[in-house]
Amino acid sequence: MSALTSSMEDYLEAIWIIELEKKVARVKDIAKHLGVKTSSVANAIKVLSEKQLVHQEPYGYIELTQKGVLRAKEIYETHKTLYKFFHEILGVDTKVAEKDACEIEHHIHRKTLNRILQFIKFVETCPEGEPLWLSSFHYYAKHGDKPEHCQQSEGIVKGGKRMKHLSELKVGEKCKVSRVIAQAGIKRKLLDMGIVPGAEIQIEKLAPLGDPVDVLVKGYHLSLRREEAKAIAVE
């Protein structure tokens, strides 16, 4: 395949898409699709013709050559794969996913693209539908907090036993902090409050719905939001 600039690849892809929709492509159709002037299209067609990727009929129709079809289809399929990965797998907004796919399609390595294709196929062929870990990621991306089952599983670290989270304890229970599992801002706040690994905590009071939680740490009374209490793994 001849070396092409990103711009020329965009023209090839545009012609391919227009031919799929309208059977034939004209200069004005390509200009509208790409948002460029017809003079720019004419210059691009000249370059692509010289590379034997397109053929322009005397009456104005532009057709991809067999070589052009192969190249255009490859670009188009790459674009679709990237868009699908960004939008359907990662949950990126439609417009952003489309823009990023258009920019990255010209530079991504074939090995990376193939790995993305494998990943998409793996997700789509999961016998139970969307994998739980992917649903959990979507929840995290939307809410900025991990679902309950993720937070609970993070406590399984010692002797095969799941350490509890502070939010699971009852009034009067005592525990020792094992680790703080939270985003940087919340983690720093809790550490500054003296909730560090090894610190002893006693549950003093619980609000009716478990939020907030009043605790005793190093002789000080603290009031923690449920979100903060969930971030503290204890034993």
Residue 82 pLDDT: 97
Q: What is the pLDDT along the chain (235 residues), one digit of tens a residue?
A: 457 899 999 999 999 999 999 888 999 999 999 999 999 999 999 999 999 999 987 667 899 999 999 999 999 999 999 999 999 999 999 999 999 999 999 999 999 999 999 999 999 888 778 888 888 888 888 888 777 666 555 544 555 556 778 888 888 888 888 888 777 778 888 888 888 888 888 888 887 766 788 888 888 888 888 888 888 888 8
Question: Was domain 1-125 assigned CATH 1.10.10.10?
Answer: yes
What pTM was estimated for this model as a whole? 0.62
What is the predicted pLDDT for the residue at 1? 45
pLDDT score, position 110: 93
Measured N-to-C along each axis, helices 27-34 and 6-22 cross at an angle, to the nearest 10 degrees, of: 120
pLDDT at 140: 85
Euclidean distance between CA atoms 180 and 193, whole angstroms: 12
**In this structure, are residues 200 and 215 in contact, taking their beta carbons and an 8 Å threshold?**
no
**What confidence score (pLDDT) does residue 156 get?**
44
Q: Which sequence spans correspond to the domains of the chain?
A: 1-125, 149-234
pLDDT of residue 177: 86
Chain position carrying tokens 């599983």 = 153
Q: What is d(CA 98, CA 194) in angstroms, rounded to the nearest whole number?
A: 46
- CATH code: domain 149-234 is 2.30.30.90
Do the domains spanning 1-125 and 149-234 agree at the CATH topology level? no
What string of DSSP letters covers the chain?
Answer: -----HHHHHHHHHHHHHHHHHSSB-HHHHHHHHT--HHHHHHHHHHHHHTTSEEE-TTS-EEE-HHHHHHHHHHHHHHHHHHHIIIIIS---HHHHHHHHHHHTTT--HHHHHHHHHHHHHHHT-TTSS-HHHHHHHHHHHHSS--HHHHHHTTEEETTEEPEEGGG--TT-EEEEEEE-S-HHHHHHHHHTT--TT-EEEEEEE-TTS-SEEEEETTEEEEE-HHHHHTEEE-
